[in-house]
C-alpha cells in the first residue's frame, strides 16, 4: 500500500472498529479504490467550488457505504466519512498538489 492509502486505512480503522483479517482486507480495498476515485475528482480550486466539494463528499459516502464491512455502525460510518473528507480537504488543495505530491 502507498503512504496515501495507509493514511486512509488508518482513518478508517483507528481507533475503531475491531476487524477480522477478512474485514481488514476489505477495508484495504476500499482505501485503495477510494483514493483512485478521489484523485479523479480533484480539479483546480475544488475546495472553493461548492459542486466539486459536494461531489467529493458524496463519493466518500458512497464508496464507504458500499465497501465497508458491517462492523461499522451508522454513527461510526458518519464519523469516518467526516474524518476522510477533512483529510482530503486539508491534504489535497488541488490536482497534483498536496502533501503527497512528488517533489521534482
Q: For residue 43, what is its C-alpha cell?
A: 480539479
Residues 72-79: contacts with CB within 8 Å, 24+ apart? 72/17, 73/17, 76/16, 76/17
- The mean pLDDT of 31-35, rounded to a whole number, is 95
Residue 7 has pLDDT above 60, yes or no: yes
The larger pLDDT score, comparing residue 103 to residue 100, is at: 100
Cα separation of 96 and 34, whole Å?
17
The owner of cell 458518519 is 78
pLDDT for 96 equals 61
- Per residue in 50-102, pLDDT (tens digit) is 999 999 999 999 999 999 999 999 999 999 999 999 999 999 887 665 656 55
Global pTM? Answer: 0.88
* Contact between 46 and 52 (Cβ < 8 Å): yes
Amino acid at each position: 500500500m502507498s503512504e496515501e492509502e495507509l493514511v486512509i486505512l488508518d482513518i478508517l480503522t483507528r481507533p475503531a472498529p475491531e476487524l477480522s483479517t477478512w474485514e481488514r482486507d476489505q477495508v484495504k480495498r476500499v482505501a485503495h479504490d477510494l483514493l483512485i476515485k478521489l484523485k479523479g475528482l480533484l480539479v483546480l480550486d475544488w475546495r472553493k467550488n461548492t459542486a466539486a466539494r459536494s461531489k467529493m463528499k458524496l463519493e466518500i459516502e458512497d464508496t464507504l457505504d458500499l465497501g465497508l464491512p458491517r462492523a461499522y455502525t451508522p454513527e461510526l460510518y458518519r464519523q469516518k466519512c467526516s474524518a476522510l473528507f477533512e483529510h482530503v480537504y486539508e491534504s489535497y488543495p488541488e490536482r497534483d498538489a498536496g502533501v503527497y505530491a512528488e517533489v521534482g
